[in-house]
Every structure is written in C-alpha cells, then in structure tokens.
Amino acid sequence: MLIDRYGRPLTHARVSITSKCNYSCVFCHKEGVNWSTINELSPEDWSFFANVVSKLGIVYFKLTGGEPLTRSDVASIVRGIKPYVKEVSMTTNGSLLNKYAEELLDSGLDRVNVSLHSLNREVFKKLTGGILERVIKGVEIAISSGLVVKLDYLVTSLNAYEYRDVINYAESLGVDLNIIELIPLGLALEKYAELYSPLSTIEKYLEEAAVSRTLYEFQSRPTYVMPSGIKVTLVKGTCNPELCASCTRIRVTPEGKLKTCIYTNEPLIDAGDYICKRDEEGLIKALVKANEFRKPFFSTNSLQPSQ
C-alpha cells in the first residue's frame, strides 16, 4: 500500500471516464480540470489500470465524468474493473439511469450516487439544465432493479430551503443522502458569492433530529443516522483540514492523467501512455511519483510531513 508523507494511505481512485456531459450545471467544477480535446481510455485500458493499481492498495473506484452514462460502453468499463477491486461505484446526474440501471447492476456496480439538487422542476432546470422527472424515474428504476442508490444534494442559495423536503424524500425511498457544500472551483468569485449557502442551518437541524452522529472514515465526514434509519452525510470540501487529513484518494482524468487533489493540477502526471502500452512498471512508477506529491490542500500545524 502506498502511504504519503503525511501518513495517509492511498486506497481510492476517482476516475473521470469522460469529459462529456448532457447537463449544464451552474456550479460545475469539472473535477478541477480545464477540459480540452481528450482521447478517452477504453474499457480494456481501465481494466488494465485497475489490475495494476489494485496491487498497490487502490481498491475503491468511483466512476464519474462529465456524465459517465453518456458513454455507451459504461457497463463494459465497470465489468472490466470489478474483478480487481473491492468496490466500484458511480456518480451520475441520473438522466440516463433508467436506460442503464439493470445493465450496471449486471456488470457488478456496487452502488450509484445520483445528483438530486432540487425537487422543484423549475429550480432543478435552472441549476442543471435537466429534467427533474427523468431523474426521479431513473432513481426509482435503479432502486427497483436492485442497485444501491445514494442521493447527492448540493446546497446553493437557490435550493437551500428544500433540505427538509430532500431528506424526507430520501427517507421515503429508504436511501442515504449526501448534503454537499458548494466549492468555488469553476466559478467566478461573484457567481460563487451569489450561489453559496452555508450548511449551518442544516447541520443544526440534523444535530437535533438525528438519533446518532458518527464520523465516516473516508475524509472524516460527519454522518447522521435519522429516526427512519437512513444516513445523512455532510460533505464540506472547502477550508476543511479534517477532510484533507483523512483523504485517501487520487483522481484520474479520461485520458489517464493522475491528479493528486481537486484543488490543484500541480503536478498533473500523465500515465495514459503507460496504460495504453500496458506498461505495468511505468504505471507503477507514475503512481508512486503522484503519491509523493500528495499533500493536504487545507492543513493545520498539527499535520506535518514525515522527514
């Protein structure tokens, strides 16, 4: 297992399999990458990647985009990765989930996060450019097919008032929920200030309404168990040293570049050639190099690198 200079193991990979998206979310951070013309890696490439990095301890894969379901071979990607890792999950806007839910389940997908940022169709349209009813249908079909579903609700000034409705909806489905703080990446300062809404009111509500509170080990995310039994997790990614101190993730772009943190592209290590040429030794060296550059973006004086 790879351990960085701050004592953090490297166990998770967030893999963007495409930069393409059929939505136009006003808060999109594009995974912290300025997308350009990209040659997307194939299912066979991702299978090779998973095989190699799993030997180093990277055994949790989160597939994302863009929108991963815009790739017609998405199930093949999951199927190729699954034999080598402990878990393959996916984050999606849900607009195409009704089409792919059963195929994803059959391919071995362990769970899916579906973005549901509003239950008001006009607000949803304004935030994402998408159609709310299509996402709701996708969620329902995914659940009925047997997929494990978790909802993602990103809080902005336009939808913050809906938090109880979203929690209630998650409870009605019996699914867990992430409540996510807006981060400034991809936004002009004025737009960020216009859209940002703090999570303090929601956090206070959860403290009072939940039957228990724990810390989710991955990124030390506070998680609340509601009376219904569902879990609601707060994801605060900005100015949060606790999250950074327990981050175990590396990011991978659609063409195979290794990104050590969403907040920085320095360095952005290109492993795509090693992947395409099936160069295991070269890929391992690239991973080791990337791990050497990993560091908490938000830190405290108590978190120091080893000598």
Query: Is 244:5 a contact under the CB 8 Å cutoff?
Result: no
Would you give the distance in Å from CA 257 to the centre of its chain? 17
Cis ω on the peptide bond leading into residue 66 (within 30° of 0)? yes
Query: Is 206:232 a contact under the CB 8 Å cutoff?
Result: yes
| Per-residue confidence (pLDDT) for residue 307, from 0 to 100 | 47
| Per-residue confidence (pLDDT) for residue 157, from 0 to 100 | 97
φ, ψ of residue 186 to 5 degrees: the values are 80, 0
Q: How many Cβ atoms are within 10 Å of 244's Cβ, its own excluded?
A: 22
Give the closest residue to 275 by CA, choosing from 261, 258, 259, 289: 258
| Per-residue confidence (pLDDT) for residue 67, from 0 to 100 | 97
Q: Domain coordinates of the chain in residue numbers?
A: 12-289
With 0.85 as the threshold, say if the pTM is over it. yes
Structure tokens, 247: 């981050």
Would you give the distance in Å from CA 24 to the centre of its chain? 17
- Coil, strand or helix: which one is 295? coil
Would you give the distance in Å from CA 55 to the centre of its chain? 22
Each residue of 267-295: pLDDT tens digit? 899 999 999 999 999 999 999 999 999 99
Each residue of 66-76: pLDDT tens digit? 999 999 999 99
Residue appearing with tokens 């938000």: 298
| Per-residue confidence (pLDDT) for residue 5, from 0 to 100 | 92
| Per-residue confidence (pLDDT) for residue 200, from 0 to 100 | 95
Q: Which residues pair with 92 in a beta bridge?
A: 114
Structure tokens, 87: 């878990």
Q: How many Cβ atoms are within 10 Å of 86's Cβ, its own excluded?
A: 11
| Per-residue confidence (pLDDT) for residue 302, from 0 to 100 | 47
Query: Is 159:117 a contact under the CB 8 Å cutoff?
Result: yes
CA distances from 186 to 26, 129, 238, 277 (A): 9, 17, 14, 33
Say how far apart CA 202 and CA 197 lie, in whole Å.
10
Say how far apart CA 37 and CA 222 lie, in whole Å.
38
pLDDT in tens, the chain (307 residues): 999 999 999 999 999 999 999 999 999 988 877 766 578 999 999 999 999 999 999 999 999 999 999 999 999 999 999 999 999 999 999 999 999 999 999 999 999 999 999 999 999 999 999 999 999 999 999 999 999 999 999 999 999 999 999 999 999 999 999 999 999 888 889 999 999 999 999 999 999 999 999 887 666 689 999 999 999 999 987 887 777 888 899 999 999 999 999 888 888 999 999 999 999 999 999 999 999 999 988 876 545 555 4
Contacts with 281 (C-beta within 8 Å, 6 or more apart), sequence order: none
CATH class, range 12-289: alpha beta
The CA-to-CA distance between both ends of the chain, in Å, stands at 19
Would you give the distance in Å from CA 190 to the centre of its chain? 25
